[in-house]
Structure 1
């Protein structure tokens, strides 16, 4: 028994070589894929007649080794016959997984031996036995039959894949932001070259506190032939025309008015100022004040102190029902001013307070937003959005005397179409409250910018190093 190796680009060519050189009595011991094709290991009992050129000796010479048998070659002590070998190989197909490679080789040998004539059908069957790519449907069907430990291993890889996808998405979003920034920078550079005066004025408006969107919108209406000075005056007048003011609407009207807004904006003091002004015009008996601020310590006492000075009625309500009853009792008053509790725009109690004015039994109450004039623009946006559920009749800007920039509140008032009613600039009651005027507000914003915003007027202290 001898063993030969044959190489072919596919199974058909390799088997053809075996048949041509060894004949149909050869036994295929194994087959495997190599880089250039298929490798077959074949065994045969005698030299093929085509290759016999030297007759075999009748007996072996002393000291000459015997030709190894098929059993010795494959490491088995069974009978040295092709039939017994095939039977043994057929039975080994039920071996455990650890002997998978040997069983596969035996199965190939069994199939090949059963077709010793190397027919084309046999070759097609051998090639069909090679691993083929599975369709997606077959993979899904086999996934249901996986053992539990294999399914668990697949489930463990799923979060890792999700994390990788999330990381890829985050990187793509980051690249998109960088590209958008670069494109915007290129467009800005282009506009600076084409319209240097307009770009300079946009910078001045944003430094004054206006949002970039509003500044760009105003610049688009500026005539191109204006010089810097003419364009700046034109922009200030255009901004004043965009601001909506209500005039002296609270002190000339009748009914109930509630001041709402975040904490610390000066609502209580503003209520006292309005009440004092109204009492000066119509008498103290024509005005009353109600507080629903039950959270701040001594809130009612503070308003009651103002009431004693003014000489008007002051009441306190803890629920919406009490507020409705008090408004009914004070219906003979020309003006009833309601002081509300101050909450952050992110506080859930703010929504509860807003709903007090919509219980069905409440008479119509006008709501005015009280905001500090020195509030940052993003904070102003969120404050206004927090009161989207109620209809605001106007707003009151307080603490103008503490501002270094006034463009933020003007920008918010224009962009959200919020009418401006009054402004306050001090703690004196009732002196430090004024009716809002658009040109006065824009003029004050320009003066603050000239005083604190320009490079030659702002103080830039050098950083001291040790």
Structure 2
């Protein structure tokens, strides 16, 4: 005889398992309730083992042959039903009609519960979507109200101080950032007229702007030009090398390039070096850069041309690490920026290249600018010193030392030529330099 255990969430399911696996003649030994359901212990007969079979050589009595095998109930002394069929009949007889009806309605009730849960979940999702949409609408209304309130505040300021509002608008049209323009206008004198106030603001911007004229050529050492691609680093190095060779001699100038990515980069700088007459070498990594710097240790000026990467390019970090590893050589790093870039682009460029110490910056492509207020704002807000200005492709003529007066005057003239409403239409197709 074999004994098996069956588990179900209720008596109906457990008895069904017994009937399906052991048949209707199985014997129920016990049943227990658990937290997860019902446990039933059932037994069923199997074929007799060989050791229990009677020996053919021994005679058996007629009474023993006709005697039936005792049931499990007789062995354990239980007077309950032996088979599963009898147990089901007994339960059906003892159960009341109400219990039977409730037992039949159990699946229907469960289905109703599942349906109600699904409806509740759907309603909850709809409520969440409605709440999200309501929050978005409130956020939009808040932004609109903030815009309207700021407009009203601005109108009130302009009503009380019309001159300040006019000057603020002129500075913004000139390309000066909003924060810097508001800060500068706050110092404008109340009793002065429009022209005097405008000249006062330009002088104030000139005082805030920092320059280092002729900083690279006047001091010996190693100078590296950094900056994004397309800013004109290679051409600027050629201009600096040509001016230094003319001033100190070609044997006192050397050029090292780290640009191993751009096709023809070394050939371009090598051609400049051949024309100028100075030495040009290429470094593949920081070790080769260190060796070349030691080789050129007796040169008055060594110019390092770095590869141009976007501020979003991961290779920029690797190049900056190369420059940091050679910090023992006392390399002076200068940032090369296009003066005709957007304010945010220049601001992000300065933030990325601040990982290394910057001695100053060189502004290029001034001949392509329609305004200079953006680059002036970036230089003032980041306290970045401007050293040189490049306004053309000629080597070495189109490179001059930075001048605060020249930059502010140029910015004002560009604003007068392209920024004013009554003059912008006359020069929309004219891209020549305004100075």
Normalising by structure 1, report the TM-score. Answer: 0.66
What is residue 355 of structure 1 aligned with on the other side?
Answer: 321
Distance 2:239 2:108 in 1: 97
What is residue 339 of structure 2 aligned with on the other side?
Answer: 373
Gaps of 5+ in 2: 1-95, 429-435
> 4+ residue runs of structure 1 moved beyond 6 angstroms?
149-162
Tell me: CA distance 1:168–1:381, structure 2 relative to 1, closer, same or farther (3 Å).
farther
1:297 to 253, 263, 266: 263
- Measured after TM superposition, the shift of residue 175 of structure 1 is 2.3
Give the stretch that moved more between structures: 285-294 or 352-361. 352-361
What is residue 338 of structure 1 aligned with on the other side?
Answer: 304
Tell me: CA distance 1:168–1:298, structure 2 relative to 1, closer, same or farther (3 Å).
same
Q: For 2:217, what is the secondary structure of its paired residue?
A: coil
| Count of paired positions | 332
- Measured after TM superposition, the shift of residue 172 of structure 1 is 3.3
What is residue 96 of structure 1 aligned with on the other side?
Answer: 105
- Measured after TM superposition, the shift of residue 155 of structure 1 is 8.1
- Measured after TM superposition, the shift of residue 235 of structure 1 is 0.2
1:360-406: per-residue Cα shift (whole Å, max 9, x none)?
67522111111111111111111111212111111100011111111
Gaps of 5+ in 1: 1-86, 101-145
What is residue 191 of structure 1 aligned with on the other side?
Answer: 157
What is residue 211 of structure 2 aligned with on the other side?
Answer: 245
Distance 1:460 1:430 in 2: 33
8 Å CA contact 1:373–1:409 kept in 2: the answer is: yes
Q: Does 1:225 align with 2:234?
A: no
- Measured after TM superposition, the shift of residue 91 of structure 1 is 6.1
2:167 to 201, 213, 219: 201
1:278-330: per-residue Cα shift (whole Å, max 9, x none)?
11111111111011011111111111111112111100011111111111111
Distance 1:359 1:309 in 2: 32
Q: Residues 123-142 of structure 1 correspond to what in structure 2 (within 5 A)?
A: none
2:388 to 410, 422, 441: 422
1:130-170: per-residue Cα shift (whole Å, max 9, x none)?
xxxxxxxxxxxxxxxx98x9989988888777665554443
**Bigger proportion of residues as helix:** 2
Distance 2:163 2:352 in 1: 38
What is residue 234 of structure 1 aligned with on the other side?
Answer: 200
Q: Does 1:458 align with 2:424?
A: yes
Normalising by structure 2, report the TM-score. Answer: 0.71
Tell me: CA distance 1:227–1:342, structure 2 relative to 1, closer, same or farther (3 Å).
same
8 Å CA contact 1:324–1:362 kept in 2: the answer is: no
